[in-house]
Amino acid sequence: MAEQNLIEQAESKQPQLLQHFIHLVTTNQLSHAYLFSGLPGCGKRAVAQVVAMRLFCQNPDADGMPCGHCAECGRILAGDNPDVVTVEPDGQRIKVDQVRYIKDEFAKSPVEGSTKVFIIEGAETLTTNAANGLLKFIEEPVANRVIFLLTTNKSMMLATILSRTQIVEFPALTAKAFAETLRQHQISENQIPLLDGLTNSLDEAKQLVADDWLANCQHELSRWFSQLAKHDDMAFVTVQTGLMPLAHDRDHQAVILDAIILLWQDTLQTKYLSDAAQSGFPELQTTMAKMTQSLTRNQLLKILTAVLDTKKALAGNMNIQSILETLTLQILADMKQNV
């Protein structure tokens, strides 16, 4: 990606947040540790990289923005600036040895500029030991060090890290803007609301719809949900025959769980909001409406809590089939309490 395109991307996705951080740099008010939280594709990394570019840019413009053309801007994008350290998950996790590398770099003085910048992608994947390894450096700020932790799920971060960083919530791209982008790339209208709930990234959306994976996921989750609504134990079988063939790898497994969360959030909204947002499962609206008539508020909240806990179970390396089967049995038991 060209430097200028990155700046344009950050400006288009998060204009207010970018302007805020450029102002902090210009006025020398940048803090030492930030946690950027938001959906994939919402601009977290772009903003962090543009801030890094501004810290090193040789020719910022009149508005304080990096020029995007000088040697330093180019080096940062190419990963060639030794004072800008970027780390992302090695496989499914950021490992302890990667944190050791961060710590080693943290202890070094800036090589070329007056500041060192650390951008840590997928911070929610830090192992407990790795996260604890970062705490010392977050708790004891060192002059001219700035850390950007980027996460799609801050609830999976250690409370101690949350309490010692400035948390910046990145709003999702507007549904209208993202939907229009998806339409321009010939993505099915039926899949757009679900994609809007799963990601803000066009690239990720394209990957999900490839080979009809998302359409099949919608179909199998709809079948599973309809069986649950009828208190049908066949929902347990659908996990094995319908959902497991779609759980190719950890990434797809995580999307299945995210879609299940959205499915039950839609159910909750159907019960309590007359003007609920467009559902990612439009074919289930009648089924949801009937189901919510028989479910109490406490039952729904209990089910939602169990659904949300599946993400933590997956992050803890629990087998996806066990997660889905356990969830299915728990939902069936919760729903049958009043039967």
Whose CA is closest to 289, among 308, 260, 269, 259?
269
Residue 132, pLDDT score: 84
Residue 275, pLDDT score: 62
Residue 51, pLDDT score: 96
Residue 1, pLDDT score: 42
Whose CA is closest to 65, among 9, 25, 116, 29?
25
Residue 3, pLDDT score: 46
Buried (b) or exposed (e) across 25-56, using 16+ Cβ within 10 A? beeeebebbbbbbbbebbbbbbbbbbbbbbbb
Can you give the pTM of this predicted structure? 0.64
CB 281 within 8 A of CB 194: yes
pLDDT in single tens digits along all 339 residues of the chain: 444 488 988 888 899 999 999 999 999 999 999 999 998 888 899 999 999 999 999 999 999 999 988 999 999 988 889 999 999 988 778 888 888 898 899 888 888 778 999 999 999 988 888 888 888 888 887 788 999 999 988 988 888 899 999 999 999 877 887 888 888 888 999 999 999 899 888 888 999 999 999 999 999 999 999 999 999 999 999 999 999 999 999 999 999 999 999 999 999 888 887 665 678 898 898 999 999 888 888 999 999 999 999 999 998 889 999 999 999 999 999 988 754
Rounded distance, CA 313 to CA 293, Å?
30
CB 47 within 8 A of CB 14: yes
Q: Which residue has the tokens 């049958």?
A: 336
Helix, strand, coil tally for the chain in percent (to 5): 65, 10, 30
Question: Which one-letter amino acid corresponds to residue 207?
Answer: Q
* Residue 263 CB partners (closer than 8 Å, separation 6+): 221, 225, 280, 281, 284
Residues of the chain with CATH 3.40.50.300: 3-171
Rounded distance, CA 124 to CA 188, Å?
31
Task: Give every strand in the sheet of 33-37, ordered side by side.
Answer: 84-87, 116-120, 145-151, 33-37, 166-169
CB 247 within 8 A of CB 220: no
Residue 277, pLDDT score: 63
Alpha-carbon torsion, ordered 129, 132, 136, 138, to 10 deg: 130
Question: Which one-letter amino acid corresponds to residue 265?
Answer: Q
Distances (CA, A) of 108 to 44, 115, 122, 135, 192: 26, 11, 24, 17, 47
CATH topology of domain 3-171: Rossmann fold (3.40.50)
Neighbours of 186 (CB within 10 A): 7
Residue 56, pLDDT score: 93
